[in-house]
A and B are shown apart, each in its own frame.
Chain A
Amino acid sequence: MIKIWSMKKNEEAAAKAKPKTTAAQIRVQKDLTELELPDTMKTHFPDPTDLLNFELTITPDEGMYKNATFPFTVAISSNYPHQAPKVRCTKKIYHPNLDLEGNVCLNILREDWKPVLSLQSVMVGLQYLFLEPNPDDPLNKEAAEDLRRDRATFARNVATSLKGGSVRGEKYDKMI
Chain B
Amino acid sequence: MPDRSAILSALVPTVTRPATRAAYIKLAPEHKYVDVDRVLGVPGPFTDEAFQGGEAAKQFLRGSCKVLVIGAGGLGCEILQNLALMGFNDIHVIDMDTIDISNLNRQFLFRESDVGKSKAVVAAAFVMNRVPGVKVTPYHGKIQDHNEAYYQQFQLVVCGLDSIEARRWINATLVQMVDPEDADTMKPLIDGGTEGFKGQARVILPTITSCYECSIDMLTPPTTYPICTIANTPRMPEHCIEWASVLEWPKEFKDKKLDNDDPDHIEWLYKKALSRANEFNIEGVTWALTQGVVKNIIPAIASTNAIIAASCCNEAFKIATTSNPYLDNYMMYTGNDSLYTFTFEHGKRPECPVCGGETIEFEVERDVKFERVLEMLTERQDMQIKKPSLSGPKGPLFFQAPKQLYEATKGNLEKEIGEVLQDGDQVNVTDRALPFTLTLKIKFTK
Residue in A1, A23, A29, A99 whose CB lies within 8 Å of B430: A29
A6-B64 Cα distance, complex, nearest whole Å: 10
A27 CB to closest chain B CB, in angstroms?
6
User: What string of 1s and 0s marks CB contacts (under 8 Å) between A30-49 and chain B?
Assistant: 10111101000011110011
Does B149 lie within 8 Å of A13, measured CB to CB? yes
Does A3 lie within 8 Å of B216, measured CB to CB? no
In chain B between 276 and 313, which residues have their CB closer than 8 angstroms to a CB of chain A? none
Binds B, one of A65-73, A100-108, A146-154: A100-108
A101-B247 Cα distance, complex, nearest whole Å: 8
Does A99 lie within 8 Å of B231, measured CB to CB? yes
Which residue of A is nearest B391, CB measured?
A29
In the bound complex, residues from chain A placing their C-beta under 8 Å from that of B402 are 32, 35, 37, 42-43
A19-B424 Cα distance, complex, nearest whole Å: 12
Does A23 lie within 8 Å of B168, measured CB to CB? yes
Which interface class (under 10, 10 to 19, 20 to 34, 35 or more) fits B? 35 or more
Total inter-chain residue pairs, C-beta < 8 Å: 185
Does A48 lie within 8 Å of B396, measured CB to CB? yes
B59 CB to closest chain A CB, in angstroms?
8
Contact A43-B404, Cβ < 8 Å, known A23-B172, A49-B394, A115-B216: yes
In the bound complex, residues from chain B placing their C-beta under 8 Å from that of A84 are 221
Binds B, one of A133-141, A156-164, A167-175: A133-141
Does B232 lie within 8 Å of A104, measured CB to CB? no
In the bound complex, residues from chain B placing their C-beta under 8 Å from that of A7 are 59-60, 64
Residue in B221, B232, B251 whose CB lies within 8 Å of A83: B221
A9-B67 Cα distance, complex, nearest whole Å: 12
A137-B173 Cα distance, complex, nearest whole Å: 42
Does B430 lie within 8 Å of A138, measured CB to CB? no
A105-B217 Cα distance, complex, nearest whole Å: 24
In chain B between 186 and 206, which residues have their CB closer than 8 angstroms to a CB of chain A? 186, 188, 205
How many chain A residues touch B (Cβ–Cβ < 8 Å)?
64
Does B437 lie within 8 Å of A30, measured CB to CB? yes
Does B428 lie within 8 Å of A26, measured CB to CB? yes
A138-B428 Cα distance, complex, nearest whole Å: 42
Does A33 lie within 8 Å of B164, measured CB to CB? no
In the bound complex, residues from chain A placing their C-beta under 8 Å from that of B50 are 2-3
Does B251 lie within 8 Å of A21, measured CB to CB? no
In the bound complex, residues from chain A placing their C-beta under 8 Å from that of B405 are 32, 45, 48
Does B426 lie within 8 Å of A21, measured CB to CB? yes
Listed from nearest, the 7 A-B pairs whose CB atoms lie closest are A49-B395, A17-B147, A15-B148, A33-B389, A13-B152, A137-B228, A48-B408
Q: A residues touching B (Cβ–Cβ < 8 Å)?
A: 1-11, 13-23, 25-27, 29-30, 32-35, 37, 42-45, 48-51, 78-79, 81-84, 97, 99, 101, 103-105, 107, 109-111, 113-116, 137-139, 141
29 A-B Cβ contacts within 8 A?
A: A1-B319, A1-B322, A1-B326, A5-B60, A7-B59, A7-B64, A8-B64, A13-B184, A16-B147, A21-B391, A22-B172, A27-B353, A29-B396, A30-B437, A32-B401, A34-B401, A34-B430, A34-B432, A42-B402, A45-B404, A48-B395, A49-B394, A49-B395, A79-B165, A103-B246, A114-B221, A115-B217, A115-B221, A138-B231
15 additional A-B pairs beyond A7-B64, A18-B393, A82-B221, beta carbons within 8 Å, are A2-B57, A7-B59, A13-B149, A18-B426, A21-B426, A21-B428, A42-B402, A48-B395, A48-B404, A51-B395, A79-B165, A105-B228, A110-B224, A110-B227, A139-B228
Q: B residues touching A (Cβ–Cβ < 8 Å)?
A: 48, 50-51, 57, 59-60, 64, 66, 147-149, 152-153, 155, 164-165, 168-169, 172-173, 176-177, 183-186, 188, 205, 213, 216-217, 219, 221-222, 224-228, 231-232, 246-247, 250-251, 319-322, 326, 353-354, 389, 391, 393-396, 399-405, 408-409, 424-426, 428, 430, 432, 437
